[in-house]
Structures are given as C-alpha cells and as structure tokens.
Amino acid sequence: MFIVHDYSLAVIFCFITMLCWGSWANTQKLAQKTWRFELFYWDYVTGILVFSIISAFTLGSMGNEGRSFVNDLQQADSSNIISALIGGVIFNAANILFSAAIAEAGLAVAFPIGIGIALVLGVILNYAVAQKGNPGFLSLGVALIIIAILLNAFAYSKANKSKPGITDVDAKPTVQKGILLSVVAGILMSFFYRFIAASMDIENFQSPAIGKMTPYTAVFIFSVGIFISNFLFNTILMRKPITGSAVTYKDYFKGNFRTHLVGVLGGLIWGLGNSFNLIAAGKAGPAISYGLGQGATLVAACWGVFIWKEFKHAPKSTNNLLAIMFLFFIAGITLIIYAGS
C-alpha cells in the first residue's frame, strides 16, 4: 500500500484535505437550487462509500509496503472494526446537522463556526492521545482560530440583519438557528476522528500491530458506518425536517441522473480529503493532520464570500471583520504546521 514517509508530503496531503473538505459543500449549494439537502445527502454518503472502496483496492493494495486491503480486513480485530464504525456514526450525525446549517446559513457561516469548533476540540482530543507536535505553537494556533470563529459569528449577525426586507425581529431566529446548528455539529464533529484513528496503528503503517487496521481499511469501515447510520438519521430528518415540509423516498427517486451525480461528486471529494488526511496522520500525527485538514474552514469561507456572495448585502464594516477573520485563520493554520515541524 502507499505510505507517506516525509513530513513535507504529509503537509501537502493535509492541504489537499483542506481543499477537499472546504469545497465539497459547493455541490450541495449547486443541488440546493432544485433539490432538498436531505435528498442530496443520500447521494453524498454514497459517494463517500464508493471512494473508500476505490481507494482500498488501488492505493491500499498496491506496492510492497504494509498489508493489502483484503488481508488487512481479514485480520482486523472486532474492537477496532467497531471503533471505526462508531466514528462513522458520530461523523454522520454531525455532518447531517452541518449540512442543515449550510442550507440555513450558507458556507461562510457554517464552516467557520461548525468546523472551527470541530478543529479546536478535535486538536485537543487527538493531541491528548498522541502527543506529536509542539504544544505551545499548537495551542497558540488553536487560540487564533477561536478568535476567527467569534469574528465570523459577529459578521454573520450583522450581515443577516442588513438583508433587504429583513428586520431585527426576523433576523434573530435565523441567526440563532444557523449558529446553533453549526455549534452542535461542530461539537459532535470533534469526536469522530479519534475513533477512526484508534482503530489504526498510527505509529507504524508499514508493519501495523496485529488486529489494527491500515488507514485504507479503517476508512472503508468508517464509510460503512456512515452509510448504514444514514438510514436512521436521514430518515428521521426527512420526516421531521428542520426547515420546510417533509420529503419521502419517492421524492428522491424523482431526481434526474445529473442531480444525483452532483451529490455523489460531493461525497467523492470529501472522501478523497478524508483518505489523504488519515494517510498523512502516520507521519504528522493525528492532532496536526486533523487540525490542518479542518483548515477547510478558510477554503469554504472563501467560497461563501467570493463566489456565492453570501455577504453581498452586508454593511461595509462587515468586510473589515471578514478580512481580520481570514488573517487569524491563516495565522492559526501556519502555527499548527510549524508545531509539527
């Protein structure tokens, strides 16, 4: 299987993760014009599962290093399989709420708040288990990102109140719902990585301990957990949506091929980022690998601000807040990279 042996390459893989995790939601924005996010989400989780299978039988089975996917899956201990499955269930619960937050508030808000919180808590949790990297620089980087999150929340509140036809009374519930969904999703999101990392031998991908899995096998089991749990989580959300009327499976099958393909593409993009992140974790350590990957916040905020124009009705003072937010995010991510070097 393919293994990363160099820290610089691990950082590059984490940047690819950042781009993928920060860009997949554009497919939701595209589909959202004619397609409810609950229906989009079925195609999205299918895309994640499909990519994990492709990755397992290509990068996870080629070369002379480590165990091939099939051999690794056959020897995996049940406790590690369960751990990766639990990671998938937790991720899916978080991500489906996160998708709802995107539908409510947009990329420029859901990502900085939701994924920003996931980054902060996730780095702390993962560093507590595998202490790779300078704790001082890592802590300072996380602190700067917390400031960026608060700036974004404040900017969103001001922008929402400035929309045409929106009064303070109208804006407040919308602001609260978008931010609340992002916060809950972010807290849940911070826990999934620890479970999938625990199922692998992070210290030795080349000759992993018996019963532990390689990142390719762990990603596959994790993706199965996402897919299976979606029959519970998304079915509930379809019947009791956060916003709008209920949708049915019949509505899903009314979608055309192109609409379904957009959702699958979103899952493939996220799956690529997830695989590269876990491959890099062996060299960079889970805290730094996860932290850099969740720098996706910066990428998504750029999409939301510059492409989707989610702050176009905001007062000019909001632009200053957004500029400062981006600076704090960039500084925080830079410190996290330096902490691992």
Q: Is the pLDDT of residue 263 over 80?
A: yes
pLDDT > 70: what percent of the chain?
94
Question: Could you tell me the pLDDT band of residue 179, with boundaries at 50, 70 and 90?
Answer: confident
**Residue corresponding to tokens 């996402």:** 226
Split at pLDDT 50, 70, 90, the class of 163 is: low
Q: Give me the mean pLDDT over the 3-27 stretch.
A: 93
pTM comes to 0.87
Cβ atoms of residues 15 and 176 within 8 Å: no
Asked if 61 and 70 count as a contact pair (C-beta separation under 8 A), the reply is yes
Q: How confident is the model at residue 162 (pLDDT cuts 50, 70, 90)?
A: low
* Cβ–Cβ < 8 Å for 291, 232: no
**Residues 144 and 335 sit within 8 Å (Cβ to Cβ):** yes
Q: Any idea which of 13-27, 111-125, 277-291, 324-338 has the lowest mean pLDDT?
A: 111-125
User: In this structure, are residues 196 and 218 in contact, taking their beta carbons and an 8 Å threshold?
Assistant: yes
User: 183 falls in which pLDDT band (50, 70, 90)?
Assistant: very high
The residue written with tokens 């959300």 in the block is 237
d(CA 145, CA 330): 8
User: Average pLDDT of 268-297?
Assistant: 91
Minimal CA–CA distance to 22: which of 225, 320, 326?
A: 326
CA distances from 242 to 137, 236, 319 (A): 39, 10, 30
Q: What are phi and psi of 213, to 5 degrees?
A: -110, 155
Neighbours of 115 (CB within 10 A): 30
Is residue 152 a contact partner of residue 325, using CB atoms and an 8 Å limit?
Answer: yes
